[in-house]
């Protein structure tokens, strides 16, 4: 391309006029070359299609396995874990550096070495209400449940079980909004955790509670006789094996399916509360067509050291408020 500059026919001096300087455009850095690649597609094909693919000259074949993939993933996670440990070691105080391994992500995914004992809870007899259905959960909770089960099955932290006893699961929301996986062991603790009374007052309190539902317990007086005997002023308090058997049988009868009923919004309902020096309690009951009141739910709350000092009428009102 030719550039022609013409001078104007005006008067000029003896010097040649200088042309205006055109600023040069700043040079841009060279663009990075984007490597071209062909997207990878994974498809399942039949044996015949695979055979015809093998006949083509431009086809490439190779094989892999889940084991090899796991090894690659493990190596990459190990490298990331080493970087994290190095960073933690720099920030930990000198006296605590010997505990650096507790921050290892890879080590936390391993099961401790197997010991010589395998502990189990051996049930003495089949239980009529051993199975507990799942609590109602939303989509977020169900997805979290599935993720938790898959991860822990893969790590070996949990295994498939054929136990006749099942405890329901639930989630508790953390401060940061995440969900904490929890298991409701209330029903199991009711069978394995024994809070045996140690005084005459404790036995009388237990008998009074059970006596309220004696119409639902066959042979209540015969079962409770050993406990009634040790509450006599003429007898010394001595907890025997016969007393413990009576205590367990009464508790088993209270937990039986025949005594507890599901809530029915169409039946008459009443809430009974009580307060003692250390505990407030409540029972929700409903009247059935046979004119008997059946318990639906129980509630109790241990009073704090400040609540114990309240007046009795305040405790009674507090029992009603807590029950609701």
- pLDDT category of residue 268 using cuts at 50, 70 and 90: very high
- The larger pLDDT score, comparing residue 128 to residue 46, is at 46
Question: Residue 203 CB: number of other CB atoms within 10 A?
Answer: 23
Q: How confident is the model at residue 24 (pLDDT cuts 50, 70, 90)?
A: low
Q: Which two tokens stand for residue 66?
A: 């889940």
267 in Cβ contact with 291 (< 8 Å) = no
Q: What pLDDT is recorded for position 269? A: 92
3-class DSSP state for residue 107?
helix
Residues in CB range of 157: below 8 A, 6 or more apart: 111
Question: What is the tens place of the pLDDT at every residue in 119-144?
Answer: 777 766 666 666 777 788 888 888 98
Confidence band of 8 (pLDDT split at 50, 70, 90): very low
Helix axis angle, 241-254 relative to 200-211, nearest 10°? 30
What is the residue-averaged pLDDT of the chain? Answer: 77
Task: Answer left, alpha or beta for residue 96, where phi above 0 means left and psi between -120 and 50 means alpha.
Answer: alpha
Supply the pLDDT for residue 6. Answer: 38
Between CA 280 and CA 324 the distance in angstroms is: 12
Residue 3 has pLDDT above 50, yes or no: no
Tens digits of residue pLDDT in 270-293: 988 888 767 788 888 888 888 888
Provide the pLDDT for residue 55.
Answer: 87
CA–CA separation, 304 vs 137, rounded Å?
33
Cα torsion 186, 191, 193, 196: sign:
positive
The confidence score (pLDDT) of residue 14 equals 46
Kindly state which CATH superfamily the domain 194-259 is placed in.
Reverse transcriptase/Diguanylate cyclase domain (3.30.70.270)
Distance of CA 89 to the CA centre of its chain: 31
Degrees to nearest 5, angle at CA 282 with 296 and 227: 90
Mean pLDDT over residues 72-99, rounded? 77
Q: Does the domain spanning 260-324 belong to CATH 3.10.20.370? A: yes
Please give the Cα distance from 228 to 221 (Å, whole number): 9
Asked if pLDDT for residue 156 goes beyond 80, the answer is: yes
The pLDDT assigned to 195 comes to: 67
pLDDT in tens, 26-37: 555 555 555 566
Token pair in block for residue 216: 């639902």
Tens digit of each residue's pLDDT (9 = 90 or more) over 177-231: 888 888 888 777 766 665 677 788 888 888 887 877 776 676 777 888 888 888 8
Beta-strand relationship, 179-183 and 269-275: unpaired
Cα distances from 219 to residues 215, 225, 250, 261, in angstroms, run 9, 10, 10, 21
Q: Which of the pair, 156 or 120, is modelled with greater confidence?
A: 156
Please give the pLDDT value at position 129: 63
Residue 148 has pLDDT above 80, yes or no: yes
Bridge partner residues of 170 (DSSP) = 182
Burial letters for 124-147: b for 16+ Cβ neighbours within 10 Å, e otherwise?
eeebeeeeeeeeeeeeebeebbee
Q: Which of 17-31, 45-59, 297-311 has the lowest mean pLDDT?
A: 17-31
Q: Which DSSP helix (H) or strand (E) runs through 51?
A: helix 47-55
Extents of the domains making up the chain: 139-188, 194-259, 260-324
pTM of the model: 0.40
Give the separation between CA 289 and CA 267, rounded to whole angstroms: 9
308, pLDDT greater than 50: yes
Selection from 205, 206, 136 nearest residue 171 by Cα: 136
């Amino acid at each position: 391309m030719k550039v022609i500059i013409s001078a104007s026919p005006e008067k000029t001096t003896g010097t040649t006029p200088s042309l205006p300087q055109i600023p040069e455009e700043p040079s841009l850095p060279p663009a990075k070359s984007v490597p071209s690649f062909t997207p990878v597609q994974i498809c399942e094909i039949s044996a015949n299609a695979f055979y015809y693919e093998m006949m083509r000259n431009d086809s490439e074949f190779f094989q892999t396995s889940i084991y090899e993939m796991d090894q690659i993933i493990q190596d990459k996670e190990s490298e990331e874990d080493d970087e994290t440990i190095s960073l933690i070691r720099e920030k930990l105080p000198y006296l605590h550096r010997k505990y650096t391994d507790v921050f290892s992500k890879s080590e936390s995914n391993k099961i401790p070495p197997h010991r010589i004992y395998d502990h189990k809870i051996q049930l003495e007899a089949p239980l009529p209400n051993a199975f507990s259905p799942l609590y109602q959960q939303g989509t977020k909770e169900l997805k979290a449940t599935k993720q938790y089960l898959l991860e822990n099955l893969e790590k070996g932290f949990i295994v498939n079980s054929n136990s006749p006893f099942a405890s329901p699961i639930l989630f508790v929301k953390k401060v940061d909004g995440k969900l904490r996986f929890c298991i409701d062991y209330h029903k199991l603790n009711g069978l394995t955790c024994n809070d045996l009374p140690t005084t005459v007052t404790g036995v009388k309190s237990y008998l009074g509670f059970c006596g309220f539902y004696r119409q639902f317990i066959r042979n209540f007086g015969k079962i409770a006789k050993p406990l009634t005997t040790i509450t006599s002023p003429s007898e010394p308090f001595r907890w025997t094996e016969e007393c413990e058997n009576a205590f367990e049988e009464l508790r088993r009868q209270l937990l039986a399916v025949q005594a507890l009923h599901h809530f029915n919004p169409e039946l008459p309902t009443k809430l009974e509360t009580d307060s003692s020096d250390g505990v407030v309690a409540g029972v929700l009951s409903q009247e059935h067509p046979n004119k008997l009141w059946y318990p639906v739910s129980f509630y109790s709350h241990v009073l704090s050291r400040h609540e114990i000092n309240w007046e009795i009428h305040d405790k009674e009102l507090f029992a009603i408020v807590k029950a609701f």
